[in-house]
Copies of this chain bind each other. A is one copy, B any other.
Amino acid sequence: MTVLSEAVLADPIALTRALCDIPSVSGDEKAICDAVEQALERLGHLTIQREGNTLVARTDLGRDRRVMLAGHLDTVPVNDNFPTRDDGDVMWGLGTSDMKSGTALALWIAATVPDPRFDLSFAFYDCEEIESDRNGLNKLSKSRPEWLAADFAILLEPTYGLVEAGCQGTMRARVTTHGKRAHSARSWKGENAIHKVAPVLERLGAYEARVVDVEGCTYREGLNAVRIGGGVAGNVIPDECWVEVNFRFAPDLDEKAAETHVREVFDGYDVEVTDSAPSCRPGLDRPEAAEFVAAAGGEFAAKLGWTDVARFATLGIPAVNFGPGDPNLAHKQDERVELPRITACAEALRAYVTGAHR
């Protein structure tokens, strides 16, 4: 007896509920991945490949283009919001918004559209909510990039039903000041590294972030301190202080250009880049992408946050974010999804892959 029965697979709302009610906090995705794999196998029209708790399924109909639908299987930790509960037109619970309502749509298309106008690939992956080197899509993009081959990808992250194109890049850097330790009763014998960080913070406060148009999408950058630390003991003049800054950069900059910019802003300081993820251009000039925007109602916006679409970008695949969840509810205790929005997104996706919208 499987929870992902034929009836459930045929109903995006029931499928969302069923996926949400299988616990799958990051690192614990075996049960949900097994359930999805068994459901896909029963369909019979898909080729299925698995690595760890990441699955890729594909049609092989010989179409001239291939579109990827992707969603992660994991959630952030349970926060007194499991399992789901329904309240009228709203389903509450962990994963409803981020992103099992989106992942359910990929699985629903896989189950109910055996004869799409493009060849379709479906990726269901683990560990999206934790460190990047455990992310199933990231791992697959290195170990099995051919499994991800496509002309266009739709990542079903929560966008509240709007097509969000590309994504901004993100870079973290540590700006460090140096001084000289001394006993704080004889402070003039030292050099206070915390005091020296004032101009770094002033530059951040005075920083004017760019607003950039890329392919019709407006990206708004930001450069901010996200963490600060320094100090040895309550009676010691500190010899080191650091500020961790986070630069969110528009898709007209690659990581190298972003690093150059951060180093320019903090010219004269010790700057170390600690973490970085590329931006992704919107790619709406591609016909597959333009057709999808049309199917989804014609509206689109820039994606400001970083998402796994950038992993497709690094493989040369344009990608957009599109899903029924509300991005403002992601990771919140009161996470929920509106049932009519699941239905509307399902219809847009179905129209797109079947050509019914034309």
Q: List the interface of chain A (C-beta within 8 A of B).
A: 168, 170, 172, 183-188, 192, 194-198, 201-202, 204-205, 209, 220, 222, 224-238, 241, 243-244, 246, 248, 275, 304-306
Contact = CB atoms under 8 A, between A and B. Distances in A.
Q: How many copies does the complex hold?
A: 2
A234 B275 CA distance: 10
Contacts of A224: 184, 187, 192, 195, 237
A192 B225 contact: yes
A263 B233 CA distance: 22
A243 B244 CA distance: 16
Contacts of A226: 184, 194, 231-238
A204 B233 CA distance: 18
Nearest to A231: B227
A195 B225 contact: yes
A183 B197 CA distance: 24
Contact of A227 (B202, B209, B230): B230
A222 B184 CA distance: 7
Contact of A194 (B172, B225, B275): B225
Given A195-B204, A231-B227, A168 B184 contact: no
A235 B201 CA distance: 18
A246 B233 CA distance: 10
A234 B222 contact: no
B205 A198 contact: yes
Contact of A201 (B186, B194, B237): B194
The listed residue with most B CB atoms (<10 A of its CB), out of A170, A194, A222, is A194
A170 B235 contact: yes
A71 to B, nearest CB: 20
A22 B243 CA distance: 45
B185 A305 contact: yes
Nearest to A190: B224
A228 B176 CA distance: 13
A269 B233 CA distance: 23
Contacts of A209: 187-188
Nearest to A183: B305
A185 B221 CA distance: 8
Nearest to A200: B198
A17 to B, nearest CB: 28
24 contacts: A170-B235, A185-B304, A186-B222, A187-B224, A188-B222, A192-B205, A194-B228, A195-B201, A195-B224, A195-B225, A197-B201, A197-B228, A201-B201, A202-B202, A224-B237, A226-B232, A227-B231, A227-B232, A227-B234, A228-B228, A229-B231, A234-B246, A234-B275, A235-B246
A172 B234 CA distance: 8
Query: A-B pairs with the 4 shortest C-beta distances?
Result: A227-B231, A198-B201, A187-B222, A194-B225
Given A184-B222, A234-B275, A235-B246, 13 more contacts: A183-B305, A185-B222, A185-B248, A185-B306, A187-B224, A188-B209, A195-B224, A197-B201, A198-B198, A226-B232, A226-B233, A226-B236, A228-B241
A305 B185 CA distance: 5
